[in-house]
Amino acid sequence: MQLPLGTYLGDSMQPFQRTLRAPIGCTGVGLHSGRKVCLTLRPAAEHVGIVFRRIDLPDRPLIAARWDHVIDTRRNTTLGLPDRPEASVGTVEHLLAALAGSGVDNAIIDLDGPEVPIMDGSAAPFVFLIDCAGLVTQGAVRQVLEIVRPVQVEDETGSVTLLPDQSGAPVYEMDIEFPSSAIRRQHRLVRLAPGSFKRDLARARTFGFVEELDALRGAGLARGGSLDNAVVLRGATVLNAGGLRYTDEFVRHKLLDLVGDLALAGAPLRGRVVARRTGHRLNNLALRALFADPSAYRFTPAVSASATRDGMPAPLAAAAAAPV
Ligand SMILES: [Zn+2]
């Protein structure tokens, strides 16, 4: 099914699955590996989901973007196949956030290296690629992951709570606290309604402290990191010549990471996520805790059959009837 542009409902409110209209690609360096890598986003069939493909390895292994494929959460989210340790893909979170925030359900992502390019450290370059490629609506109804009962995970520094919320588009809420006076305490809440990801989160860059750099590089991380792809702080000073993109860019980026990490659920959320001083590890543990308790969630069509009229879901019929 190909619907005219005027039926676009945006983001997670859209009742049908969507994919890219055409392939599109870019080249960049991996934040942690420092390696140059080519990335191509390709259209995919209904129900495929988001799947990475390492085209530089024999047999071009497929790695589905799923919560149970997460193998490393140190300063990034890395996916891998348990039986093929070399078949991994690092720093997937910003790209996954862009795809989820743009309402893309199905895509194959070709990479010729082990890490998604960091681009400018935000999700904006990926949103730009998706916008340039365009989207097509597919025939299958989108499934959403509805939170039915609260689930919470916590560690010594933070927590993630998944809560039922039927009020509309999913809500993501974040609190962060850093000793640097450039950050201190920041709180933000975003409802992923049409356009809000692109407007409120996509441009927020990853960030780090000069003081940590030697330790990170010693651990094989941040080798490609620079002022071109991260907000870099020395104590309370932002070293980037252009300053910040949002006054609270730090908490917005943490929300971006949260959206990307929770996209590994494989379906848009229907619920509320409350995160405090969290990171990739706790974000992933939240999904593992959710899926460990079948009474806490259910997959449900984005639009119920009872809401259809003349074979078309009611919101879509209304959108189709509205002036474009
Ligand atoms: Zn990030």
- CA separation for the pair 300, 317 (Å, rounded): 20
Q: For the chain, how big is the Rg over CA atoms in Å?
A: 19
Residue 221 binned pLDDT confidence (cut-offs 50, 70, 90): confident
Contact 58, 72 (CB under 8 A): no
Contact 176, 251 (CB under 8 A): yes
Let me know the angle formed at the C-alpha of 35 by 29 and 39, rounded to the nearest 5 degrees. Answer: 55
Distances (CA, A) of 34 to 73, 229, 318: 18, 12, 49
Q: 123 C-alpha vs ligand 1 centroid, how far in Å?
A: 9
Cβ burial of 82 (10 Å; 0-12, 13-18, 19+) is exposed
pTM assigned to the model: 0.89
Question: Mean pLDDT, to the nearest integer, of 241-254?
Answer: 96
Residues catalogued as catalytic: 280
Q: 258 C-alpha vs ligand 1 centroid, how far in Å?
A: 9
Name the amino acid, one letter, at 282.
Answer: L
Q: What is the pLDDT of residues 4-50, one digit of tens each?
A: 333 333 444 579 999 999 999 999 999 888 889 999 999 999 999 99
All structural domains of the chain, each given as residue ranges with its CATH number in brackets, are: 5-316 (3.30.1700.10)
Q: 118 C-alpha vs ligand 1 centroid, how far in Å?
A: 9
Q: What is the pLDDT of residues 92-110, one digit of tens each?
A: 999 999 999 999 999 999 9
Q: What is the pLDDT of residues 81-92, one digit of tens each?
A: 989 989 999 999
- CA separation for the pair 14, 164 (Å, rounded): 20
Q: 24 C-alpha vs ligand 1 centroid, how far in Å?
A: 22
Q: 110 C-alpha vs ligand 1 centroid, how far in Å?
A: 21
Could you give the 3-state DSSP secondary structure of residue 188?
A: strand
Cβ burial of 219 (10 Å; 0-12, 13-18, 19+) is exposed
pLDDT given for residue 304 in this prediction: 52
